Every structure is written in C-alpha cells, then in structure tokens.
Amino acid sequence: MAEFTYEIQEQIGVLSQNTNGWSRQINKISWNGREPKFDIRDWAPNNEKMGKGISLSMEELQILKDILNSMDI
C-alpha cells in the first residue's frame, strides 16, 4: 500500500464518542498536500489512529446539506 500523508487543518466537531475513547469527527483535512476537504471518520484518542471515512469537497458538502435540509427529520 502506498504511503500517504494528512494534516488536520481544522477540527470542526465531534459527532459521537464510544466507550473505547474513539470519536466520530468532522474535520477539514489536507490529504497528500492537496486542497483540504471536509472529512468524517472515526479517530482514536489523540488522533493517533483513524478508521474508514468519507471526504467531501465544499461542493459535495453543500449538496449533502441541501439534501438533509429537504428531509423531514
């Protein structure tokens, strides 16, 4: 597997936390020195390990926001 780098540029918020200390967070992250994206994934305490997640561009985040706003929840 190829090496990758990341830099958490902004910690936006914690969506949930489990009993093991891992938390599902939304952050703004630059992957491999690229333009930062909004990222939702699980992180171990102190962000030492990460789980699988999803990264969204600003456009994708806006579309998701519009979809969620249109839902009757």
What global pTM score does this model have? 0.88
pLDDT tens for 31-58 read 999 999 999 999 999 998 999 999 999 9
Tokens of 28: 């703004």
Would you say residue 1 lies in a domain? no
- The alpha-carbon radius of gyration of the chain (Å, integer) is 14
Would you say residue 61 lies in a domain? yes
3-state secondary structure of 4: coil
Domain holding 51: CATH number? 2.30.31.70
How many domains in the chain?
A: 1
Backbone torsions φ then ψ of 63, nearest 5 degrees: -65, -45
Tell me how many helices (H) and strands (E) the chain has: 1, 4
pLDDT tens for 4-35 read 899 999 999 999 999 999 999 999 999 999 99
Which residues constitute the domain of residue 49?
6-70
